[in-house]
Amino acid sequence: MQLHKIKIEKGQEVMVVLEEEFKKLNLTEGAIVSIIGAVDECCISNMRELHAKEDVEKVYKQPFELSGCGEIRDGKPHIHCTLSKEGDQTIHGHLHWAKVESWYVAVYVLIS
């Protein structure tokens, strides 16, 4: 196995870059072992309390520290993340998209 680093730069969207990179690397399945960085806007979801099959999406338009992990399914990233914001607050959930404007995000993927 080999560890591959994908860097998402200012002006890029995390999920779009990852899907493009997975396609270039011919990755359809795999492990996203670590994600670290900062984003400026994002959308995450969580399951409804009484309906596990339904997601509640929420868009955030503020800077967050980002960490997470996930998997590659059918060539697409599936990421669960923790986001921290000013005031020592964190939120968690399934990442749908995230824009990088101020810093960068590094994603580490295991390739077999």
- DSSP at 27: -
Q: What is the mean pLDDT of residues 4-21?
A: 98
| Tens-digit pLDDT profile for residues 67-95 | 999 999 999 999 999 999 999 999 999 99
39 backbone dihedrals φ, ψ, rounded to 5°: -125, 160
Domains of the chain, earliest start first: 2-52+76-111 (3.30.1330.80)
| Tens-digit pLDDT profile for residues 22-52 | 999 999 999 999 999 999 999 999 998 888 8
Element (H, E) at 59: strand 51-60
| Residue 2: other Cβ atoms inside 10 A | 7
Closest CA to 97 of 41, 46, 33, 50: 41
Distances (CA, A) of 48 to 11, 52, 65, 97: 32, 6, 25, 20
**Three-class SS state of 49:** coil
Q: How far is CA 14 from the centre of its chain?
A: 6
